[in-house]
Amino acid sequence: MTQLSPGSGRVRVGVLVSGRGSNLAALIQAAQHPDYPAEIVLVAANAPGAGGLEIARSAGIGAVAIDHRPFKGDREAHEQAIDAALRAAGVELVALAGYMRIFTPWFVQAWRDRMINIHPSLLPHFPGVDTHARALAAGHDRHGCTVHWVTEGVDAGPVIGQADVPVLDGDTVETLAARVLTAEHRLYPQCVALAARSLRSQRRMDGAGSLPNLRRTPDP
């Protein structure tokens, strides 16, 4: 039997989605490469109709809907259910991909330095929603996307990577969003790989079986 040395295995990633899942699809595609340092082991959605669930199932990845509505405003109880699913799947790194709920401090702490998000703006510009409309209204000539560690501030955690695109004359929210989304699909797999490699080297330092908090990856 082959014995894996500490840190040689692929990092187990859980992806949380609320909607269509195009970033999830980009991650699944990247993870098919044998040299990719991460594997997607679970996709969870707070919305039972999320398109991302079907994308996961089609790829043979475990997919679970954990509807927030029955929890009737008890956000932490909903998050405990998500946390339990992630831990049961052996998830080491959580990637938010269009997950449209804000976490309580409890969940953020539970996954501190192990949870990343992709946001459709060049942070610190335009945290929150309606980023493309706000970039157009502000007259910016560059816009883009950011992958960052999740902290308690909304879209405020340390940046792992960014990709920018031009804002062109005549752009609408839709044309700009489509250009940014294409950049997201390149950026997110790169940043998940960076985070996974960082986790793996942390494993090597600490020995198999132990996964302490990941040291934050500096900007590439």
* C-beta closer to ligand GRF: residue 67 or 130: 130
Quick one: tokens of 34?
């044998």
Q: Which residues bind ligand GRF (CB under 6 A)?
A: 17, 19-24, 97-98, 118-120, 145, 181, 184
* C-beta closer to ligand GRF: residue 145 or 214: 145
Task: Identify whether the C-beta of residue 146 lies closer than 8 Å to the C-beta of residue 159.
Answer: yes
Q: Is 28 left (phi over 0), alpha (psi -120 to 50) or beta?
A: alpha
* C-beta closer to ligand GRF: residue 166 or 212: 166
Residue with tokens 């946001």: 119
Has 78 been annotated as catalytic?
A: no
We find the least distance from the C-beta atom of residue 25 to ligand GRF, in angstroms, to be: 8
Of 119, 143, 148, 185, the active-site residue reads 119
We find the least distance from the C-beta atom of residue 81 to ligand GRF, in angstroms, to be: 21
Question: Which residue, judged by CB position, is nearest to ligand GRF in the bound state?
Answer: 98
Quick one: tokens of 160?
């792992």
Task: Identify whether the C-beta of residue 31 lies closer than 8 Å to the C-beta of residue 97.
Answer: no
Q: Where are the alpha helices (DSSP H) in 42-172?
A: 51-58, 75-88, 105-110, 131-138
We find the least distance from the C-beta atom of residue 138 to ligand GRF, in angstroms, to be: 18
* Catalytically active residues, by annotation: 119
